[in-house]
Every structure is written in C-alpha cells, then in structure tokens.
C-alpha cells in the first residue's frame, strides 16, 4: 500500500493553484467538480502532482471558510503537516532561495537529522521540507517498538 494523495480544504482556488504551481513547482494533476451527496453542495477537487502517483488534493465547496482565528502556534496545530522529501541538503538551500524570491515566509529548525523548513500554504496547511536520513520519521525502524513501549509505559 502507498499514499495516493492527501486532501485538504482550499479557501481560494486561485491562490491555492498559484502557490502549488508557481511557488512549489508542482504540476496540475487533475480537477473534477460535481455535487457532493455528503455535503449537499457542489464541490471542486483539484490535485497537484508531487511525483508520479503522489499528489496533494484540495477541496473547494460553497460555504467553506477558514477558521475564524489565526493559525495558532500550538503543538497540536503544528503536528498537522505534510513533510515533503528533497533529494539532498543543497536542495534545502535552493528551496530557501525560491521561497524568499516568492516572499513566502518559512522557519528553519534543526533536528537530529539536519535542517527542516516549515511554511504555510494559502490554506494554512503546514508543509515541511526535509532530507530523509536514517534518523528521520520515515526511516527509524531500528528500536522503534522499544521507544513506543517506553512512552506507553510512562518513561519520558
């Protein structure tokens, strides 16, 4: 099994499209519209290809509005994000330049596995750009069950 796409709400289809095509450099993978039986409203679903067979998808529908409060700096909010893997450390530097050129604010954090860039898209979806290493979230199989069990047992 593999991830096909991850879906989020979009509050402005034009801003979302510009961000993912112009800033992120993704390609438009598809768009469909129709009537949602679940919502009872017309919807637009637009997806952007990250890599072949992998996409971020965004739903627009009448009456969809962002939360009334600004994006808070809380762990629970910041946990919800999409981490996008880049090929090498130098790619992160190129991304910094690209984001600066598009005037997209971002934060840099150092973790055990190196630098990570964090930014928000026009829908307040947090994106993380990182290089996969053995210590990154996608590659920590050795000792993972023991670490999980220690946490469950209250060992912090």
Nearest 5°: phi and psi at 85? Answer: -85, 135
Print burial letters for 30-41: b (CB count within 10 Å at least 16), e (below 16).
eeeeeeeeeeee
Domains 5-61 and 75-152 share a fold: yes
Mean pLDDT of 109-125: 87
Q: Which CATH superfamily is domain 5-61 in?
A: 2,3-Dihydroxybiphenyl 1,2-Dioxygenase, domain 1 (3.10.180.10)
Give 139's pLDDT tier (boundaries 50, 70, 90). Answer: low
Domain boundaries, the chain: 5-61, 75-152
Sheet of 106-111: strands edge to edge?
81-86, 126-131, 114-120, 106-111
Nearest 5°: phi and psi at 76? Answer: -60, -40
Q: Whole-number mean pLDDT of the chain?
A: 86
Mean pLDDT of 142-146: 79
* CATH code, 75-152: 3.10.180.10
């Amino acid at each position: 099994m593999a991830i096909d796409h991850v879906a989020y709400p979009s509050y402005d289809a034009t801003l979302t499209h510009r961000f993912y095509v112009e800033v992120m450099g993704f390609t438009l993978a598809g768009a469909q519209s129709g009537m949602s039986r679940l919502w009872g409203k017309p919807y637009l679903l637009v997806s952007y290809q990250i890599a072949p067979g992998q996409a971020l998808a965004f739903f627009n529908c009448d009456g969809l509005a962002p939360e009334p409060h600004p994006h808070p700096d809380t762990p629970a909010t910041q946990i919800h994000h999409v981490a996008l893997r880049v090929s090498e450390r130098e790619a992160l530097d190129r991304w910094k330049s690209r984001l600066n050129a598009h005037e997209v604010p971002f934060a840099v954090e150092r973790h055990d596995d190196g630098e990570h860039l964090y930014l928000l898209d026009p829908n307040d979806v947090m994106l993380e750009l990182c290089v996969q290493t053995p210590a990154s979230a996608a590659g920590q199989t050795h000792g993972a069950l023991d670490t999980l069990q220690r946490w469950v047992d209250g060992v912090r």
